[in-house]
Amino acid sequence: MHRQTSQAVPIFRNPIVKTFRLHYNPTYREIRRKHVKARYKYRFYPTDQQKNDLARLFGCVRVVWNDALAICKNSDKVLKSGELQKLVITQAKKTEERQWLSEVSVVPLQQSVADIGVAFKNFFDSWKGKRKGNKVNPPRFKKKTSKQTARLTRRGFSIKGDKVYLAKVGIVKPVWSRDLPDDPSSVTIIKDCVNNYFLSFVVDIEPVQINADNQSIGIDLGIKTFAAMSDGSEVQSPDYSKLDRKLRKAQKKFAKQSKGSNRKNLTRLRIAKIHNEIANKRSDFLHKLSSKVVSENQVIVLEDLNVSGMLKNRKISRVISQQGWAEFRTLCEAKSEKYEREFRVISRWEPTSQICSDCGFKWGKLDLSVRSVLCVSCGAEQDRDINAARNIEKVGMGHRHDHKRTRREGKTAFVARPDDLSRITALPGR
């Protein structure tokens, strides 16, 4: 028989919980409710003439970006957007080397220069600590072989019926997979690495009010099991093995072919298509899962994983990068704002896998090969991932430990004694 113990709340330090919902200021909340931006992306098929016009447009946008970036790097300070536009657009059109800039609309060229200023601002704010998240690298020069984009504001495009007019490109007919909820404020023309063309519209929408089935849910992200939920369910990762085999075969073939040959260019396009197929498969999976999680729960709690640190492990770096944990977190955060939900992130140092979610007994660190644990205190058999997800939910909902553990204590690998008074927990306010 197992020894009967009193029911206790799992032990945690004072949780560092980040709540991503602007609900503290009702006035600002009402403003945000009317100004939630969303992107609607549609594919279109340009004619041969339009492909040439778009290639010219992408080239001009890229040249203006590179010219503006070169001026900024060679100057003592970042010039204002108006000064840069005068140098790389207005004056450049009068020169023989850049007179062909007049063949395209000036709107995307101006937006390209404006984006330079935004990129530098994000870079400086990041390194000064004014911008949250990971450090942002400075803007880089754009290549001809990478994904090409050109952004148009309302002055550069118009929608008439099921057709879209693009300045100095002509009329294109996108595949309207869904309706636009409102008039878009801008559109980005995209040509990806496999020569597919898209129109990406930015639209202001109101958050959708959907009743949540559950109050809260904790999610523990993994590799084989992509997500373990605090309600006991598990979501398996998509199977990329078939695409991985195709990719390795194409990459070996690419390495053996002559540099600059037509066959090598075709193989490069084949590799790009496989990468694109993997990305689309992952994106579809993450969008569907994040929509399901956010629509069914009022509070979503995730752990702040150190993904960049995990990628340094060569044995699992490829598998981790293929999962898309950061993209899933971004989607959950964005959709939480859209559906009026609360998105929370707990500290990565919380010992969520070291504590029984039923009785609060701490068994210490576990090897990654251990997938289930039999609690010596309450006798419950806990699945490692689901137990961690339940603890993540508890921390995210405000459970805490009154005793502040030291760094040394936080790294203990032995099983905690059930009579250790320092392990006793309590709910906030008790």
Which residues form the catalytic set?
A: 220, 303, 385
User: Which tokens go with 102?
Assistant: 């007049």
Beta-strand relationship, 381-383 and 234-236: unpaired
Q: How many C-beta atoms lie closer than 10 Å to residue 374's C-beta? A: 12
Q: Locate tokens 């007994």: which residue? A: 361
For 13-38, the DSSP string reads -S---EE----S-HHHHHHHHH-EEE
Residue 290 CB contacts under 8 Å (≥ 6 apart), including other chains? 328, 331, 332, 335
Q: Tell whether the torsion through CA atoms of 202, 204, 210 and 215 is positive or negative.
A: positive
Sheet containing 170-172: give its strands across.
157-160, 163-166, 170-172
Q: Locate tokens 């002509």: which residue? A: 170
In the 8-state DSSP scheme, what is residue 315?
A: T
Residue 400's DSSP bridge partners are 426
User: Which tokens go with 398?
Assistant: 């405000």
Report the distance separating Cα 303 and Cα 285, nearest Å: 20
Q: Are 338 and 207 in contact (CB under 8 A)?
A: yes
* Cα distances (Å, whole numbers) of residue 338 to 136, 202, 206, 232, 310: 26, 14, 7, 26, 31
Residue 215 CB contacts under 8 Å (≥ 6 apart), including other chains? 297, 298, 299
